[in-house]
Amino acid sequence: MTLGPLMVDVLGLELSEQEREILQHPLVGGVILFSRNYESPEQVSALTESIRALRDPHLIISVDHEGGRVQRFRKGFTRLPPVGALGKHYMQHPKLTLEHVEISGWLMAAELRTVGVDFSFAPVLDLDYGVSEIIGDRAFHRDPEAVSSLAYAYIQGMKRAWMPAVGKHFPGHGAVEIDSHLGLPVDSRYFEDMLQADMLPFSRLCHSELAGIMPAHIVYEQSDDLPAGFSPFWIKEILRDRLGFQGAVLSDDLSMEGAAVIGDSLARAEAALSAGCDMVLVCNNPESVVQVIDGLKIIDDPVRHMRLVRLHGRHSINRDDLFASEQWKQAAKTVLNYAPDPELELSL
């Protein structure tokens, strides 16, 4: 059975019968987990195991688990720092910072792999211009060269834990103030300026390091009048043809306000897939999932399937063995020195 182009969510700590039916639909290819799906490592392991048992090849299982304000699983997991807390030391201590960033990427990935998660939507490749509250310290740095180097190190850590990397938010979310969860941001910069800045980390990493890329729900008005996630210009002409990216393109959540300009949930899914996305996220609205499944007409695409299959994590990691290892103990000690305020969290 091929992997379909929809990534959906589930409501609770275990699958309902209706969710089992939905997840077996041929249009579905993946599941994204949220904090509401997490109670303990044992519980979420049972949940991911039940999801994997439904299909062969199994559905892709993902989560937003960057660290800092965006970390879905807390109790029983190391409290990860925001990558900006690591990156702020880069200019003064580049070698040591790169080592710590790689350790952080490995720790994030290794702990998730022990509970059956294939990948986290990471790393964030946006630049921190000091404008966007929704990005902020989720970004490594302001300088594009620094972001490229730091993200490369982070991905090497993820690779050591057999987790593919999915970079976001192409072509760059850091220069707009509006949160695309709440409205439609408009970026007025010219393409060539963005090419030498925001797009640089994507262009440096898209050939061999990134298995997937998520475009932004932002209109870059000097280049196109459509948000990037619905734009053939950004996905096909720039990301595919100009930058040469051959991995999977995954939309941001279609329930976000930044996507509302396109129409209802079905129209958004159709537009994103037509623009060149391989997989679209339909989350936080069960009625929308049913609407899209009932209305979407799309044929199987073996190229899309192969791109999506590469998002599977490889080589499962035993949780007890990981936590007993000296490598994990040293990694946890390293990143805890950068630990953020535990009260800070983004409800994305």
**How sure is the predictor about 89, in pLDDT bands with cuts at 50, 70 and 90?**
very high
- Write out 135-194 in H/E/C secondary structure: CHHHCCCCCHHHHHHHHHHHHHHHHHCCCCCEEEEECCCCCCCCCCCCCCCEECCCHHHH
- If one counts every other C-beta atom within 10 angstroms of the C-beta of residue 300, the result is 12
Report the pLDDT value the prediction gives residue 340, as an integer from 0 to 100: 59
Q: In the Cβ-directed half-sphere of 32, how many Cα atoms lie within 13 Å? A: 23
Q: Diameter of the chain by CA atoms?
A: 55
Report the pLDDT value the prediction gives residue 91, as an integer from 0 to 100: 94
Three-class DSSP category at 284: coil
Torsion sign across C-alpha atoms 239, 240, 243, 248:
positive
* Cross-strand pairs, 213: 167, 249
Report the pLDDT value the prediction gives residue 291, as an integer from 0 to 100: 96
The answer to which of 86-95, 228-237, 297-306 has the lowest mean pLDDT is 297-306
**How sure is the predictor about 1, in pLDDT bands with cuts at 50, 70 and 90?**
confident
- Mean pLDDT along residues 191-200: 96
Report the pLDDT value the prediction gives residue 346, as an integer from 0 to 100: 53
With contact defined as beta carbons under 8 Å apart, do 292 and 6 qualify?
Answer: yes
Catalytic hit among 25, 89, 143, 181: 181
Establish whether 64 is a catalytic residue. Answer: no
pLDDT over 60 at 212, yes or no: yes
Establish whether 252 is a catalytic residue. Answer: yes
Which tokens hold the place of 76?
Answer: 């029983």
Element (H, E) at 274: helix 265-275
**How sure is the predictor about 133, in pLDDT bands with cuts at 50, 70 and 90?**
confident
- Mean pLDDT along residues 229-257: 97
Report the pLDDT value the prediction gives residue 344, as an integer from 0 to 100: 53
> Which domains, and CATH codes, for the chain?
6-335 (3.20.20.300)
Burial of 89 (0-12, 13-18, 19+ CB in 10 A): middle
- Mean pLDDT along residues 254-266: 92
Report the pLDDT value the prediction gives residue 138, as an integer from 0 to 100: 96
- Percent over 90 (pLDDT), the chain: 90
Report the pLDDT value the prediction gives residue 322, as an integer from 0 to 100: 97
Nearest-angstrom CA–CA distance, 275 and 199:
19
Which residue reads 């690779």 in tokens? 159
Nearest-angstrom CA–CA distance, 112 and 123:
15
With contact defined as beta carbons under 8 Å apart, do 101 and 147 qualify?
Answer: no
Nearest-angstrom CA–CA distance, 229 and 217:
6
Q: Which tens digits make up the pLDDT trace of 57-79? A: 999 999 999 999 999 999 999 99
- Mean pLDDT along residues 127-156: 96
With contact defined as beta carbons under 8 Å apart, do 282 and 255 qualify?
Answer: yes
Report the pLDDT value the prediction gives residue 85, as an integer from 0 to 100: 93
For helices 94-113 and 144-160, angle between their N-to-C axes, nearest 10 degrees: 40
CA-to-CA dists, residue 262 to 173, 276, 305, angstroms: 19, 15, 26
- Considering the chain, what is the average pLDDT of its residues? 95
Nearest-angstrom CA–CA distance, 146 and 131:
18
- Mean pLDDT along residues 11-32: 97
Report the pLDDT value the prediction gives residue 341, as an integer from 0 to 100: 55
Q: Which tens digits make up the pLDDT trace of 165-194? A: 999 999 999 999 988 888 899 999 999 999
Report the pLDDT value the prediction gives residue 257, as an integer from 0 to 100: 85
Non-local (6+) Cβ contacts of 182 within 8 A are 257
**How sure is the predictor about 332, in pLDDT bands with cuts at 50, 70 and 90?**
very high
Report the pLDDT value the prediction gives residue 210, as an integer from 0 to 100: 98
Catalytic hit among 9, 64, 118, 252: 252
**How sure is the predictor about 300, in pLDDT bands with cuts at 50, 70 and 90?**
confident
Nearest-angstrom CA–CA distance, 166 and 307:
12
pLDDT over 80 at 348, yes or no: no
